[in-house]
Amino acid sequence: MYSEMRDAPEPLGTPGRALAVGAHPDDIEFGCGGTLARWAAAGCEVTMVVVTDGSKGSWDPAVDPSELAARRAAEQATAAAQIGASKVVQLDYVDGELEYSMELRRRICEQIRLAKPDVLLSHDPWKRYQIHPDHRATGLGAVDAMVAARDPLFFPEMGIDPHRPGAMLLWAADEPDHWEPIESSFDTKLDALLSHSSQGETTMGDAQASAEARNAFRERIHSWAVNNAASTDFDLAEAFKRLTP
Ligand SMILES: [Zn+2]
């Protein structure tokens, strides 16, 4: 029996519903886009919650933040369609200025109770040396919202039934202990990332500008997935810390 055990635990079965909570447009695609795409292709109902408006995602000091936010919302809708997500919810906090608050916890809790996911996914708030404040606040907000969502005495004024997800997966995990294969959905993940064309310069090495840059970006995402899969039987994977709510 024990000789058959692998290094890595089994991936989850396809959930009926999954909810991913990301700080910015494109965070969900980087963190779990391949996993969501594979699940969606197998019939999972995927909801994406994007907490901030992405209005600081540019190196161009002349850019109009509200125009950038509108462009990024459109890019997010395209990426969501590629992944097969059925819904995108924008919470529209100002990019870069997100602070952990009871209101943030309540608003994510509301989305969990509405979507009733079997699996909840978000940033790992305990990732050491994570410097982006929005990533820390979103991850902590999502974990705390999960705790609130399952118990009826939290936010009873919401008037929505409590809901307890079966699993929570944290991406960019400090201590990953769970992996999901993405061989079948790697190209979809890449296409969804590339749909965030406003982010080409800042996070994708100008991948949309030339075939060479696109290939270099593909290679970067591919090696990341290969490294993630190192302790598993898969070729390509996304890595997570798994919490059991
Ligand atoms: Zn981000």
Q: How far is the CA of 2 from the centre of ligand 1 (A)?
A: 40
Question: How far does residue 192's CA lie from ligand 1's centre (Å)?
Answer: 15
pLDDT at 115: 98
Q: What's the 63 CA to ligand 1 centre distance in angstroms?
A: 19
pLDDT above 90 for 73? yes
Average pLDDT over residues 127-137: 96
Please compute the mean of the pLDDT values over residues 28-42 and round it to a whole number: 98
**Per-residue pLDDT at 230 exceeds 80:** yes
215 C-alpha to ligand 1 centroid (Å): 22
Higher pLDDT, 146 or 57: 146
Bigger pLDDT: 1 vs 92 = 92
φ, ψ at 93 (rounded to 5°):
-70, 155
**Residue-averaged pLDDT of the chain:** 94
Q: Give the confidence band of 6 by pLDDT, cuts at 50, 70, 90.
A: low
CA of 88 to the centre of ligand 1 (A): 16
What is the whole-number distance in angstroms between the Cα of residue 156 and the centre of ligand 1?
Answer: 31
How many A from CA of 110 to the centre of ligand 1? 22
- Tell me how far the alpha carbon of residue 135 lies from the centroid of ligand 1, in angstroms: 6
Q: Say what the pLDDT of residue 7 is.
A: 66
Least confident of 39-43, 52-56, 199-203: 199-203
219-226: average pLDDT: 97
Per-residue pLDDT tens digits for 173-212:
999 999 999 999 999 999 999 999 998 888 888 988 889 9
> Residue 3 above 50 pLDDT?
no
Residue 208: the pLDDT is: 87
Ligand 1 centroid – CA 235 distance (Å): 26
Single-letter amino acid, residue 35: T
Query: 24 CA to middle of ligand 1, Å?
Result: 5
